[in-house]
Structure 1
């Protein structure tokens, strides 16, 4: 098998690994492409292309994450990961770990870790790499990697939800949620939301966004029940999709351009969080992006007329 074929076979793994470290589709794709350039330019044929490329993409991702953290400190408003609709890497033996690690909630927990902790956790806990492979990938000794993993697990366990997520339950609750959303059914929405639910929006200063997170079932239900039906009346369509392994939807303008992506965090029979990504820089991989400011003006004008 030639280098190109070897790389293409491993590309899904490399992207999925880099995305979980970085929380960014664009940056993960760039890291994968850079790993190919290094692999192609290497005069030595490695004994294990998987080990070589996994090490290369991990080290690139660590460097990118270190610089990205500085940028995120100056980010306008809440920062959310770039939404991913389909994970290209499928491994039945690790399906549960892969799905759980892809959610918005899990990626936000990973943000609490240092770049090394995050990389060790992803390699070992999510993808099942041996400690010898992990150590080679991050350039640390095996004992050091074990300590990094202990710290990473502790931070992750501190933030893990108390409720288990059942996939069938998630899908059914999401169906009811989007039905209530389309009707502006305040009571229906309120009954699906946890008492301490949060609505978080990420516009990055480049699209209309919430000034701060909205908390509480009553407040979130009222906001959703007012504005989403208005959006529908202005031609915004709702396309239910799986977003980061969880129930969600892509909202598009009348021309089919992506306006924003919504992801639900469903656990214990209730919606615990509603997260919306509106920042156009985080939506380009999904297709042409709508003018969110123009849509916002239309929705607000429709709201004024309704009142």
Structure 2
């Protein structure tokens, strides 16, 4: 196989590793591209192309994450991962781990880890790399990687999200939720909310938003009561999709341009968390972007009663 063929075969895995370390589609794509450039520049053939490329993309991702953490601490409002609609890497033997590690809740837990802990956790727990491979990838001894893995697993288990509802149950509830949304049935929406539901929005200061974090069924219901008519009357489109492996939707304007994504966490037959990403910088990979301010103004005008 040529270098190009070898790289393209491993590219889905490399992106999936980088995305889980970085929580950013654009940064993961850049890390993969840089990995390719470095592979192209090598004059000798590595004994294991997979090990070599995994090491390169991991080290690049760790370096990027270290600088990104500073920017995320200064971010305007809550920071959420860039939504991913489809994971390009598939491994039937690791399907549960791959899906679990992709959710918004899991990626936010990973934000609590140090860059090294995060990389070790991703390589070990998600992709089942051996410790010799991990040690090579992160530039630490195997003993140190064992310790990093233990600490990372302890942090993840301590904060593990409770959202482990059966997939069919989650999908059925999400279908009811978005059906009610499109029908403008706020009462039906409210019935699906857990008492302690939270709605977390990431606009990055670049798009309209309600409060950054809204807690409790009563408060979330009030937001939905305002937001639903704006979408319906403004001829917006609610497109149910899996977002980060969870039931969710893409919200589009009347021309089909992207406004935001929603991802739903479900527990005990109720919505526990709604993660909304509205920052246009995080949505460009999904499709052409709408001007959210224009869409909001048009929706309000359409909703305004006529004399």
TM-score, scaled to structure 2:
0.97
Q: Distance in 1 between matches of 2:126 and 2:250?
A: 27
- After TM superposition, give the deviation of residue 229 of structure 1 in Å: 2.8
SS at match of 1:288: coil
Q: Distance in 1 between matches of 2:65 and 2:114?
A: 9
Report the RMSD for the aligned CA atoms in angstroms: 1.4
For residues 82-138 of structure 1, what are the alpha-carbon distances to aligned partners after superposition, in whole Å with 9 as ceiling and x for unaligned?
Answer: 000000000000000000000000000000000000000000000000011111100
Q: Distance in 2 between matches of 1:72 and 1:167?
A: 31
For residues 26-45 of structure 1, what are the alpha-carbon distances to aligned partners after superposition, in whole Å with 9 as ceiling and x for unaligned?
Answer: 00000000000000100110
Q: How many equivalent residue pairs?
A: 307
Hey, what does 2:223 align to over in structure 1?
223
Hey, what does 1:10 align to over in structure 2?
10
- After TM superposition, give the deviation of residue 304 of structure 1 in Å: 4.5
Q: Distance in 2 between matches of 1:302 and 1:215?
A: 29
Gaps of 5+ in 1: none
- After TM superposition, give the deviation of residue 306 of structure 1 in Å: 8.2
Does the 8 Å CA contact 2:164/2:266 hold for their aligned counterparts?
Answer: no
- After TM superposition, give the deviation of residue 303 of structure 1 in Å: 4.6
Hey, what does 1:147 align to over in structure 2?
147
Does the 8 Å CA contact 2:230/2:296 hold for their aligned counterparts?
Answer: no
Does the 8 Å CA contact 1:183/1:229 hold for their aligned counterparts?
Answer: no
Does the 8 Å CA contact 1:207/1:279 hold for their aligned counterparts?
Answer: yes
Hey, what does 1:48 align to over in structure 2?
48
Map residues 90-239 of structure 1 onto 2, 5 A cutoff: 90-239=90-239
Q: Distance in 2 between matches of 1:268 and 1:51?
A: 42
Gaps of 5+ in 2: none
Does the 8 Å CA contact 2:101/2:107 hold for their aligned counterparts?
Answer: yes
Q: Distance in 2 between matches of 1:164 and 1:276?
A: 20
Structure 1 residues 155 and 306, CA gap change in structure 2 (3 angstroms): farther
- After TM superposition, give the deviation of residue 160 of structure 1 in Å: 1.0
Q: Distance in 1 between matches of 2:221 and 2:83?
A: 23
Does the 8 Å CA contact 1:182/1:229 hold for their aligned counterparts?
Answer: no
Structure 1 residues 163 and 209, CA gap change in structure 2 (3 angstroms): closer
- After TM superposition, give the deviation of residue 14 of structure 1 in Å: 0.2
SS at match of 2:101: helix
Structure 1 residues 162 and 85, CA gap change in structure 2 (3 angstroms): closer
Range with bigger deviation, 236-245 or 222-231: 222-231
Range with bigger deviation, 290-299 or 139-148: 290-299
- After TM superposition, give the deviation of residue 222 of structure 1 in Å: 2.4
- After TM superposition, give the deviation of residue 163 of structure 1 in Å: 4.9
Q: Distance in 2 between matches of 1:277 and 1:85?
A: 13
SS at match of 1:153: helix
Q: Distance in 2 between matches of 1:7 and 1:168?
A: 36
For residues 220-248 of structure 1, what are the alpha-carbon distances to aligned partners after superposition, in whole Å with 9 as ceiling and x for unaligned?
Answer: 12211331232122121011000000000
TM-score, scaled to structure 1:
0.97
For residues 184-236 of structure 1, what are the alpha-carbon distances to aligned partners after superposition, in whole Å with 9 as ceiling and x for unaligned?
Answer: 32321222111111111111011112333111112112211331232122121
Q: Distance in 2 between matches of 1:306 and 1:89?
A: 52
Does the 8 Å CA contact 1:181/1:225 hold for their aligned counterparts?
Answer: no
SS at match of 2:88: coil
- After TM superposition, give the deviation of residue 52 of structure 1 in Å: 0.3
Does the 8 Å CA contact 1:83/1:283 hold for their aligned counterparts?
Answer: yes
- After TM superposition, give the deviation of residue 305 of structure 1 in Å: 3.2
Q: Distance in 2 between matches of 1:301 and 1:214?
A: 25
Hey, what does 1:274 align to over in structure 2?
274
